[in-house]
Amino acid sequence: MPPDDRPGMIPQGSLNWKWALVMGIVLALGGIASLANPFAASLAVTVFAGVAFFLGGALQVWLAVVAQHGSSDGRLVAGGLGTLMIVLALALWFDPLAGMLTLTLLVAVLFLALGAVRIWLATRMRHRARWIWMAVSGALSILLAIIVFAALPEAAVTTLGLLLGIELVMSGVATAALALAARSG
């Protein structure tokens, strides 16, 4: 089967390269804005995380209340977890600086865990070519986690915004590159 016919793949001719290029530029500009003011971007990430936790928690509580199947204990646990998500959302909204610290700490823990998993995977892939890159990626993730941990609590007000900025710039550049490739090919 040709590469464009694989499930989940976007056929090359169906990509509107102009709109994809616009999206790439918008993403990159958003990333540059985040990098220019990482505190504001960190605050925005914290508020958005609060919105996501609130909506997810409210939906979970509602589903626990209206569920017709499942045990009452299961619905009680689901409702309780939903309530905790709402409380977390409120905490992020009412004290966003503490929320930034908490989210930055979670990001550092995530980097540490990802690094450890990547190194473990690399040891299991030693029979493959270029397995060392997985180990290097894991080591860099662990190094990044150590840097974030060492810079806490001061790093909390900028780390999320910097990470958001880097992600948006990289996504924007990649999307623009794909758009230009679709235009010429």
Q: What is the pLDDT of residues 21-72, one digit of tens each?
A: 999 999 999 999 999 999 999 999 999 999 999 999 999 999 999 887 767 8
Q: Which of the two residues, 14 and 129, has the higher pLDDT score?
A: 129
pLDDT for position 2:
52
130-154 as b/e: b if 16+ CB within 10 A: eeeebbebbeebbebbeebeeeeee
Distance CA 76, CA 86 (A): 15
pLDDT value of residue 68: 76
pLDDT of residue 67: 80
Instruction: List, for residues 114-171, the tens digit of each pLDDT value.
Output: 999 999 999 998 888 888 998 999 999 999 999 999 999 998 999 999 999 999 999 9
- 10 Å CB burial of residue 104 (0-12, 13-18, 19+) is buried
Look at the block and give the residue holding tokens 């960190």.
Answer: 42
Confidence grade of residue 79 (pLDDT, cut at 50, 70, 90): very high
**Among 22-31, 101-110, 176-185, which stretch is predicted with the lowest mean pLDDT?**
176-185
Would the pLDDT of 5 be above 70?
Answer: no
* pLDDT score recorded for residue 1: 47
pLDDT value of position 185: 65
Amino acid at 117: V
- Higher-confidence residue: 2 or 49? 49
Amino acid at 178: L
Q: Say what the pLDDT of residue 74 is.
A: 83
Contact 108, 152 (CB under 8 A): yes
Q: C-alpha dihedral over 145, 149, 57, 45, to 10 degrees?
A: -80
- C-alpha distances out from residue 28 to 2, 22, 104, Å: 32, 10, 23
